[in-house]
């Protein structure tokens, strides 16, 4: 094995790395500081199911498009629009005002009317390094009802209590908001 070190090669490979380390170690001329901290990470899954009144297509239509009638968690006090575009690449949008300011909570990755809706995004945990995949699977449950199976898989930055919070919030959405909304026939109103 040849152990001769080519000085030119060493200069072009070692010096840029050393300069970077030195630059990172020196204080910034504008007084800016940097901090490094470890974030807790992990993964969790939430699964729920509920039987809802209506056909799979009716339920699909109620959980897509304008969802402001039953979805009650938002970043703004009174969202201008709150909707899910039921197509691959569509957004789960909360629009704050007529100027179009707002947030995209998730991106739809699979849409099959009456059967499946899947979206990826942190929803209310935006701003954290968390990847969350939410799936609604719909299937008939008798002649006039639909079984909605909810599956959430999350991985990344994870604070203590988040899995239980996500589970509780989805129970709220499905049992306390969506079910009464459907039972009252509000999804059928123009």
For the entire predicted model, the pTM comes to 0.81
Within the chain, which residues score under 50 in pLDDT?
Answer: 1-12
What pLDDT does residue 154 have? 97
Domains in the chain, please, with CATH? 41-188 (3.30.530.20)
What pLDDT does residue 110 have? 98
The DSSP-derived string for 59-87 is HHHHTSEE-TTT----SSSS-SEEEE--S
What is the DSSP pairing of strand 81-84 with strand 91-95? antiparallel
What pLDDT does residue 5 have? 47
What pLDDT does residue 157 have? 94
Identify whether the C-beta of residue 33 lies closer than 8 Å to the C-beta of residue 49. Answer: no
Could you count the other beta carbons within 10 Å of the beta carbon of residue 182? 22
Which tokens in the block code for residue 144? 């006039």
The DSSP-derived string for 119-138 is EES-GGGTTSSEEEEEEEEE
Tell me the pLDDT tens digit for each residue of 72-98.
Answer: 999 998 999 999 999 999 999 999 999
Q: Rounded to a whole number, what is the distance in angstroms from the first to the last CA of the chain?
A: 80
């Amino acid at each position: 094995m040849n152990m001769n070190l080519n000085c030119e090669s060493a200069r072009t490979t070692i010096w840029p790395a050393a300069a970077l380390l030195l630059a990172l170690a020196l204080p910034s001329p504008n007084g800016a500081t940097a901090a490094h901290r470890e974030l807790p990470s992990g993964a969790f899954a939430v699964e729920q199911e509920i039987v809802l009144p209506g056909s799979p297509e009716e339920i699909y239509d109620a959980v897509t498009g304008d969802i402001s009638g039953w979805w009650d968690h938002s970043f703004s006090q009174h969202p201008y629009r709150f909707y899910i575009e039921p197509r691959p690449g569509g957004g789960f949008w909360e629009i704050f005002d007529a100027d179009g300011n707002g947030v995209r909570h998730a991106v739809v990755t699979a849409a099959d009317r009456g059967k499946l809706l899947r979206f990826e995004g942190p929803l209310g945990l935006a701003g954290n390094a968390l990847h969350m995949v939410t799936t609604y699977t719909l299937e008939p449950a008798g002649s006039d009802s639909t079984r909605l199976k909810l599956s959430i898989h999350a991985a990344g930055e994870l604070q203590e209590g988040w899995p239980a919070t996500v589970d509780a919030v989805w129970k709220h959405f499905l049992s306390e908001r969506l079910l009464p909304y459907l039972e009252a026939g509000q999804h059928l109103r123009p």
